Amino acid sequence: MFKPSVTSDLAQFVAATAGRNMTKAAYVAVAIGVAMLLLLTIDPAYQAAHHWVDSVLWACLAFFAFEWVVRLRHAFQAERGWGYALSGRGLVDAAGAVAVPLALILGADPKTAWLLAAFWPLKVVPGIPGLRQLRRVLVLESGPLLSVLVIFLMVLFLASVALYFLERDVQPAGFGSVAAALWWAVATLTTTGYGDVVPITPLGRVVAAVVMICGLGVFGLWTGILATGFAAETRRDNFLKTWESVTKVPFFAALGPAAIADVTHMLRTMDLPARAMIIKKGQAGDCMYFIADGEVEVDLPGKQVRLGEGAFFGEMALLGNNLRSANITTTQVSRLLVLDLVDFRMLMARHPDLAETIDVEAKRREQENK
């Protein structure tokens, strides 16, 4: 028997690892569970290894059930239990844990009950930043998207009525009612065009051509709205990340918020692993770097110099000598802020104090390297 303290520690460990993002173990469990679900539906494969398939499916189910109970317990301890239980994530966790056992209890065939394991891949959704970004875009652009949806439904209904009127006498099987014509309207407006039901009257074909063009326009509008929303969200996220990195660099500490915002728009972030080559000696340079986090090593003749958080390098290529004078590599995982030549000149023109500081530091390093 486990002691209460051991059980509590285990629960706390699982809760910590199964926090806001899905754990690696949960991702693996989802992948394995989906694979077993596929094998379950292939009769020869399932008959050959049904014991293994059933065992793995039950193991995955036990993992998800335990994960859900731990999250629920800690949510109630934090006085937000019902908030988690009724949230999208809580409902998905609950469905992944109880849907299959509940179906089995109610007498469903095991193969049919295990199809409810299709809820498991939904557990991956909260851990994918891009899907969270999509949710924000859908919320922010809900008005324009719903407006286009209304246009889509209007065209769909009008097209169905028009084809019913024009084709009902010559094709009663395909256009004998407005409801029957809806199938053709959906296939045509979505530009799918299955071809099983097509208008044959001249006016019917004219209407079909108009509907196809409207379909392209409607989906073009949806695509444009989503693309614009994604671009705006991406710029916002990048701006916030770069702002956070800029404020960590002492070189920019004296700048006011307006100046930091100006600098943030110009800089781009670069995340590099350890031992990554940043600059190679003899190459032409067109940018300089600021170290927001991590450390780099400068390989100079006869010595090696390490630069840490807050330092900058590569400015010599922007001040006259456009050839790199040393090899520079990261010594650990690092985040760099990159300033291109054109932006460098604009920044120096707007902030002469920064230009003076960079020039003084460049002259000091030039003297040290002689």
DSSP letters for 67-90: HHHHHHHHHHHTT-HHHHHTSHHH
30-38 contact pairs (CB < 8 A, 24+): 30/60, 30/120, 30/121, 30/123, 30/124, 32/56, 32/60, 33/57, 33/60, 33/61, 33/117, 33/120, 34/117, 34/120, 34/121, 36/60, 37/114, 37/115, 37/117, 37/118
**pLDDT at 157 > cutoff 90:** yes
Give the count of beta carbons closer than 10 Å to the beta carbon of residue 52.
12
Question: What mean pLDDT do residues 24-52 have?
Answer: 87
Instruction: Give 269's strand partners.
Output: 337
User: 251: pLDDT confidence band, cut at 50, 70 and 90?
Assistant: low
Cα–Cα distance measured from residue 119 to residue 90, given in angstroms and rounded to the nearest whole number: 12
Query: For residues 67 and 90, what is the distance between their CA atoms, to the nearest angstrom?
Result: 11
pLDDT for the residue numbered 57: 92
Q: Residue 23 has what DSSP assignment?
A: P
pLDDT classification of 140: cutoffs 50, 70, 90: confident
CA distance 344 to 4: 61
- Model pLDDT for residues 78-133, shown as the tens digit of each residue: 888 788 888 878 888 888 899 999 999 998 888 899 999 988 888 887 767 677 77
Tell me the mean pLDDT in the region 232-242: 78
- Provide mean pLDDT across the span 297-314: 83
Per-residue pLDDT at 20: 44
Q: What is the pLDDT of residue 2?
A: 43
Q: Which of the listed ranges 33-47, 119-133, 227-241 does the model predict with the highest average pLDDT? A: 33-47
| 190, 192, 198, 204 alpha-carbon torsion, rounded to 10° | 30
The per-residue pLDDT of the chain, averaged, comes to 81
> Distance (Å, rounded) from C-alpha 339 to C-alpha 320?
16
What is the length of the chain? 370
- What's residue 161's pLDDT? 93
Q: What is the pLDDT of residue 154?
A: 93
pLDDT band at 17 (very low <50, low <70, confident <90, very high): very low
Handedness of CA 71, 73, 78, 81 (dihedral sign): positive
Instruction: Report whether pLDDT(136) > 90.
Output: no
Mean of pLDDT values over 134-162: 90
Distances (CA, A) of 14 to 39, 47, 64, 69: 29, 35, 11, 11
Q: How many CA atoms lie within 13 A of 275 on its CB side?
A: 0
Q: Which of 110-119, 190-199, 320-329, 351-360 has the least mean pLDDT?
A: 351-360
Position with higher pLDDT, 201 vs 352: 201
pLDDT digits (tens, 9 = 90+) for 311-343: 888 877 666 666 777 888 999 988 888 888 787
Where is mean pLDDT largest: 9-18, 70-79, 97-106?
Answer: 97-106
Q: Would you say residue 14 has pLDDT above 50?
A: no
- Tell me how far apart the alpha carbons of residues 300 and 326 are, in angstroms, rounded to a whole number: 6
Where is average pLDDT lowest: 87-101, 301-315, 343-357? 343-357
Higher pLDDT, 285 or 273: 273
Task: List C-alpha distances in Å: 352 to 49, 125, 165, 268, 359.
Answer: 73, 48, 74, 21, 10
pLDDT of residue 139: 87
Q: What percent of the chain has pLDDT above 70?
A: 84
